[in-house]
Amino acid sequence: MGKLRFLALAAFAAALAASAPAKAFCLLNCEPGPEQAKKVFENIIREKFDPDAKIVDFKVDRFWRLDVEGAGHAGVEFYFNAKVEFPKGANLQCKPTEGPNGAKTVAPGCSDSTYYSTTVQNQMVKDKQYIEPGKVVDFRDETRFDERPGGWKGQDGKLY
């Protein structure tokens, strides 16, 4: 009788595990994955550029676990390629103007750089960048999560 009860309990547990999301069973030290990396990227894109930006493609190329030296905690870093569409453009107030001699000028607080990044470790441009309406921008970028009590902190400042 004990063996039948054990088999029934095992079958029930297997069925429950198959029907529930993996996150539901994550109780200790669950690392973020590509979905969370995409969410961090999306949050930063919408804050830095435009709330209506649309991620049309997002692929993680590689990731690795980190032991953050001197900090005493773990980290996970994702490197990815993404394409983002800006239907209304972004930072329209930063559109460069052309002077009489053909030189372009930008407003204070704006950058004329066409290198787009969302990450601090890379060569992120800190000033606002103009993106023309309808443009699709390619990002070759990275994001990192640091282990914190209660979750993993993304570069958008949120816990995952």
Adjacent-strand bridge partners of 111: 129
* Of 67 and 7, the one with more pLDDT: 67
With respect to residue 141, please indicate whether it lies within any of the assigned structural domains.
yes
With respect to residue 69, please indicate whether it lies within any of the assigned structural domains.
yes
Pairing of strands 73-86, 135-148: antiparallel
Interacting residues of 12 by C-beta distance below 8 A, sequence separation 6+: none
Residue 108 tokens, joined: 């204070």
Query: Is 7 a residue whose pLDDT tops 80?
Result: no
With respect to residue 60, please indicate whether it lies within any of the assigned structural domains.
yes
With respect to residue 92, please indicate whether it lies within any of the assigned structural domains.
yes
Can you tell me the distance from the alpha carbon of 129 to that of 91, in angstroms, rounded to the nearest whole number? 6
Query: Is 8 a residue whose pLDDT tops 50?
Result: no
With respect to residue 54, please indicate whether it lies within any of the assigned structural domains.
yes
With respect to residue 1, please indicate whether it lies within any of the assigned structural domains.
no
Residue range of the domain that includes 55:
32-153
> 85-115 pLDDT, tens per residue?
999 999 999 999 987 888 888 999 999 999 9
- Count of structural domains, the chain: 1
With respect to residue 76, please indicate whether it lies within any of the assigned structural domains.
yes
With respect to residue 158, please indicate whether it lies within any of the assigned structural domains.
no
HSE at residue 153, side-chain half, CA atoms within 13 A, is 7
> 11-37 pLDDT, tens per residue?
444 444 444 444 445 555 589 999 999
